[in-house]
């Protein structure tokens, strides 16, 4: 498994440093949100279809969801972050 950052969100970069042109504008418009800009997260699974069990993967991912955050915020606010600090 690999986890890595791939750059900054454009919403965090001054607009004068954005690429110019219609092609860029079309690409960013697809994912732009009025409140969040282009901020979003994705999980991508790359592999051979016959070697990946989608149902099992979904079950494992669902088991990772925090479902009691509203009831027990302190527990989750103090949880260890398993990811490296991004620069």
Beta-bridge partners for 33: 37
Q: pTM here? A: 0.51
The more confidently predicted of residues 77 and 86 is 77
d(CA 22, CA 71): 47
d(CA 62, CA 26): 33
pLDDT at 1: 66
Query: Which sequence spans correspond to the domains of the chain?
Result: 10-77
Reported as a pLDDT band with limits 50, 70 and 90, residue 87 is low
pLDDT of 3 strictly over 70 = no
pLDDT of 59 strictly over 90 = yes
CB 41 within 8 A of CB 9: no
Chain mean pLDDT for the chain: 87
């Amino acid at each position: 498994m690999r986890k890595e950052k791939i750059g900054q969100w454009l919403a965090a970069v001054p607009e004068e440093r954005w690429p110019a042109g219609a092609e860029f504008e079309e690409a960013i418009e697809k994912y732009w949100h009025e409140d969040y800009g282009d901020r979003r997260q994705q999980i991508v699974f790359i592999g051979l279809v016959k070697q990946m069990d989608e149902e099992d993967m979904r079950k494992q991912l669902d088991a990772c969801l925090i479902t009691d955050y509203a009831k027990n915020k302190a527990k989750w606010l103090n949880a260890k972050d398993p990811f490296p600090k991004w620069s």
